[in-house]
Structure 1
Amino acid sequence: MNAKLKDRLWTGILYVVSGFVVLLLVALIGYILFKGLTAITPSFLFGNPKVGEAGGGIGPQLFNSFYMLIVSLLITAPFGIGAGIYLAEYAKEGKILNIIRLSIETMASLPSIVVGLFGLLIFVKFTGWGFTLLSGALAIAILNLPSLTRISENAIRAASAGVKEASLGLGATRWQTIKNVILPSAMPQILTGIILAGGRIFGEAAALLYTSGMSAPPLDFSASNIVSSGSPFSLMRPAETLAVYIWQVNSEGMIPDATKVGNGASAVLIIMVLLFNILARIIGNAIYERYTGKI
């Protein structure tokens, strides 16, 4: 077999494997949407769940999922990107750096259930907060920090290779170079890390079972309640997310139409993840084009 034929053969195999992965993803998403779209109605999306009764909704869980996403990313993104900047631009090779890298690798390999138990001991019991949205956001931040740190570090290293010396040669300081040149160039890769973190927040259940709880009180968005201790925007309240609710409905069977609710909630979760990915890509491309002078 000559080299050209061998190259075509392996190229075809790679195309088949790639097509199979895409087909598997489309089939999975299509099956979930097919089973769940019929259950999605305005009352289902914005109504409150009814324990022991059919016809409930997922309004509180839907809001909690989005709110958990925002709070957790506000914690994860600054620390993850900041750690990536330090490792790529400031850290020097040595024992300290080796310890940091070992810690990051160890954290990245922790099962989510272990992080959940850690959150239960520290954020729930030791602090006395109880099951709260903040406890869940901190637990998810621990899960996402290692991956976002590694992605940010690799992106910054790759982006700085061609432009760092040029920027410093023109008289810019190191921080000006990082802020105005390297970070905008690395933004697409960093955004990929943020999207992966966001997807894990939407889909995580094990860690949140022990930190944010399995209850979602009805949310009151009236003007008099927005600034009170029972506000929907309070970080110190139980916050059952959509993924936790799907697990609870399918495992406990606490409502007569559990299968229908579970299918509908799963379809909503898939749609949320897709919309988040698309929106994040659009925003990231806009930021990248703005800083690189394409618009």
Structure 2
Amino acid sequence: MTSKTTDRIATIFFWATGLIIVLLLAWFLIRILGDGLPMLSWNFITGRPSEVRAGGGVGPQLFNSFYILFLSLLFSLPIGIGAGVYLAIYAKKNQFTDFIRVSVEALASVPSIVFGLFGFLLFVNWMGLKFSILGGSATLALLNLPVLVRVTEVALRSVPESYWEASLALGSTQWQAIRKVLLPAALPSLMTGITLVAGRALGESAILIYTAGLSVSRYLPDFNIFSMGETLSTHLWYVQSEAIVPDAKNIAKGSAALLLLVVLAFNLLIAIPSRMIQKKLSGGK
């Protein structure tokens, strides 16, 4: 087999693979949005849920989704980025740091339901937080930490070493070089990692079922971190499996479409500025 034939076969294979992925994604979007978009209305998006009567909304669940996401990132970003900076810049290469990296990678592959059970034992029972927004946010932060640590370390190591050396040669301290040179240069990669963990947190249900509960406050918006915080993803699971409301299927379809739109919009809101920053850093090329 000649090299040209091999190249042609490989090209066809990769194009076919990409086309299959696009078709699967298109089918996924058409199926969910096609069933769910007709169910969406302003009253559905902002209204309160109903347990026995048809016509309930998902306003509190939508608010809780963003509130828990914000709190989880508030907990995990400083620790995750700080640990990544430590591993990339300060940590010496020895068995201890190798053990930390292996442990972080192992935690990143742990199923979310295991984190949910751990959060239930630690935050709900041992710390006495019960089912609450705070417990759910803290457990989500634990889920996000391993990914943030690895993304930060890889992003910083991908920055050319000449940036670091030039900054130190000009008289800056290590902290100044990290804050003003390395982190800005690694920002596009960091934004990608934050987008991944945020999208995962928005769609997470197993963790929040065990820690945040399946009920919402009577008030909207309710910023009380000790109140129960059912999110849109857990509400979708609930109405699809246990709800007795007559229009449960319609609520599930609308919730699925709304959740998909929220995740897509959130990713775009982060991805577009990230691309602009990356283009600016590369000199507009």
Q: TM-score, normalised by structure 2?
A: 0.94
Q: 1:159 to 1:78 in 2, by over 3 A?
A: same
Paired with 2:116 and 2:212, the residues of 1 have a C-alpha distance of 10
Deviations 1:63-83 (A, max 9, x none): 000111111111111111111
Verify: 1:154 aligned to 2:144, yes or no.
no
Q: Indicate the residue corresponding to 1:270 in structure 2.
A: 260
Paired with 2:154 and 2:220, the residues of 1 have a C-alpha distance of 44
Q: Indicate the residue corresponding to 1:253 in structure 2.
A: 243
Equivalent pairs, count: 284
Amino acid at match of 1:76: S
How big is the shift at 1:203? Answer: 0.8
For the residue of structure 2 that corresponds to 1:80, the secondary structure is: helix
Paired with 1:253 and 1:131, the residues of 2 have a C-alpha distance of 19
5+ residue gaps, structure 2, are: none
How big is the shift at 1:30? Answer: 1.7
Determine what percentage of the aligned residue pairs are the same residue: 45
For the residue of structure 2 that corresponds to 1:210, the secondary structure is: helix
How big is the shift at 1:202? Answer: 0.9
5+ residue gaps, structure 1, are: 222-231
Paired with 1:220 and 1:269, the residues of 2 have a C-alpha distance of 19
Verify: 1:16 aligned to 2:6, yes or no.
no
Amino acid at match of 1:204: E
Q: 1:162 to 1:12 in 2, by over 3 A?
A: farther
8 Å CA contact 1:168–1:174 kept in 2: the answer is yes
8 Å CA contact 1:203–1:243 kept in 2: the answer is yes
Paired with 1:150 and 1:280, the residues of 2 have a C-alpha distance of 19
For the residue of structure 1 that corresponds to 2:53, the secondary structure is: coil
Q: Indicate the residue corresponding to 2:179 in structure 1.
A: 179
**Deviation >3 Å, runs of 4+:** 285-294
Q: TM-score, normalised by structure 1?
A: 0.91
Verify: 1:124 aligned to 2:115, yes or no.
no
Paired with 1:218 and 1:35, the residues of 2 have a C-alpha distance of 29
- RMSD of aligned C-alpha atoms? 1.7
Q: 1:255 to 1:99 in 2, by over 3 A?
A: same
